[in-house]
Chain A
Amino acid sequence: MTVVRLFLSVLFALLLFSGFIILNKESPEKDLIGQWEEVSWEYEKVNHDGTLIDFQINDGQQEEIRKNLLIHKSEIWSFFSDHTLDLKTIEGTSEKVVWNLKGRGHILELEHEGKRVEDYQIQYLSHDSMIIHFNFDLQVRGIVKMTFKRKMKEEYAQKI
């Protein structure tokens, strides 16, 4: 009985602690808001003959894969608090999509015009960096690992 009481006490304490964290810690939604710049694209579980050591791919390969996949070609991702995301492409054009977080805040869902939806898994999110995975089974087997760095605001950069 003592063990059960102890377990229940720990359970209640942990529940209170969880409640405190949920109320006081910022939701991942707030962490996401801001400008993010793509730093690298890596492919995990890629098909290879065993001789390839570096999974990072060059711009040409990246462009080729992007052409065939539904992933958009964007370098700067600007998340706004009204759940819109501005995707600035390499060519300078931009596209506005709707973003939402799902699950426990680990799924980033992007809804394009025409209701086309892309889902990314957020692997790591901190104040200045973000790693997201995109699962796909189209022409390249595996997971795309996209790494972002937070872009500081220009005024802030100028001040420094």
Chain B
Amino acid sequence: MLRKYSNYRTFKDNLQLGILTSFSAGMVNVMSVILFFAFTSNVTGHYAILAQEISKGNWFQAAIVFVWISLFMAGSFTSNLFVINGKNRRYLAHLIPMVFEVICLLCVALYLQYYYQDTLKETEFLIAILLYSMGLQNGLTASISNFAVKTTHLTGLTTDLGITFSMLTKREFREDLETVRKAKLLISILCSYLSGGILAGLLYSIIQVKTFYIVCVVLTIVMLYDYYKLAIFKLAQRKQPYIKRDLLKRRRRERKPSLY
């Protein structure tokens, strides 16, 4: 899921990454709405709010919203910085932003569980951390998948879905594997985001803020999946170096690079 980059990613890689990360983004967004009355996985609404607060002359609120938006951008910036500077150790470079994200979410969960006093300053600060973590995730998934997978907000996705559906009204596109795969990927991300949100809402009524730990578990699965695959690959190479290398080379030659 995380190991491969850009056009070398297969449809399956993008699908797995899209499903798991959008599921966690859906959970985080619903949790932040329940707890803080603010969206943290998307910033479109925040831009509208920023404009509204400026027009009302509420400078304090406008400043807060501006910092939130900047932190989402800073998250994407950090992710891509690791991706473009880690070409030699690709898995590690793709892993670090996700580790940062999990650390952010864990900090929020622990703070909420043990220290949260319900003050406005705390609320604003925790929203800021969540926006940064979602920026990290969105930046990572978008940059490693060549912008095919964006998992934290659905505005672009819904637009793409509308366009793809309209394309599918023509037979030539229905027979085009890329278009069909794109539709499958977008539908999967959409459903996964929604499922994450619903599950978070249900879980919150049972385990409250501990729901954030579930999000961390989902993201840890994403991280460990590739580690597990790499470990198996290394083990196989050690046992049957020539056979495995040959097999992998043949597979690589057969595989057509795909955007979706």
Contacts and interface: CB of A to CB of B under 8 A. Distances in A.
Interface stretch (A10-18, A89-97, A136-144, A149-157): A10-18
Contacts of A104: 38, 49, 53, 61, 64-65, 124
B15 to A, nearest CB: 34
B119 A103 contact: no
A17 to B, nearest CB: 7
B37 interface: yes
B60 A21 contact: yes
B171 interface: no
B63 A101 contact: no
A100 B124 contact: no
A28 B60 contact: yes
A22 B61 contact: no
A119 B61 CA distance: 19
Contacts of B66: 14-15, 18
Interface residues of A, number: 25
Contacts of A105: 60-61, 64, 120, 124
Contacts of B61: 28, 104-106
A98 B63 CA distance: 27
Contact of A15 (B53, B65, B67, B123): B67
B59 interface: yes
Given A104-B49, A106-B61, A29 B67 contact: no
A124 B57 CA distance: 11
Interface in B13-70: 36-38, 49, 53, 56, 59-67, 70
B59 A25 contact: yes
A14 to B, nearest CB: 6
A114 B49 CA distance: 33
B70 A103 contact: no
Most A Cβ at <10 Å: residue of B65, B120, B121: B120
A102 B36 contact: yes
A27 B53 CA distance: 14
Contacts of A107: 37
A26 interface: yes
A132 to B, nearest CB: 14
Interface string B103-127: 0000000000000001111011001
A14 B66 CA distance: 8
B118 A100 contact: yes
27 contacts: A14-B66, A15-B70, A18-B64, A18-B66, A18-B67, A18-B70, A19-B63, A21-B60, A21-B62, A22-B64, A22-B67, A26-B60, A27-B60, A29-B119, A29-B120, A100-B119, A101-B120, A102-B37, A102-B38, A102-B120, A103-B123, A103-B127, A104-B53, A104-B61, A105-B61, A106-B37, A106-B61
Given A18-B66, A104-B49, A104-B124, 16 more contacts: A11-B70, A17-B63, A18-B64, A18-B67, A21-B59, A21-B60, A22-B63, A29-B119, A83-B119, A98-B118, A100-B120, A102-B120, A103-B36, A104-B65, A105-B61, A124-B56
Interface of A: 11, 14-15, 17-19, 21-22, 25-29, 83, 98, 100-107, 119, 124
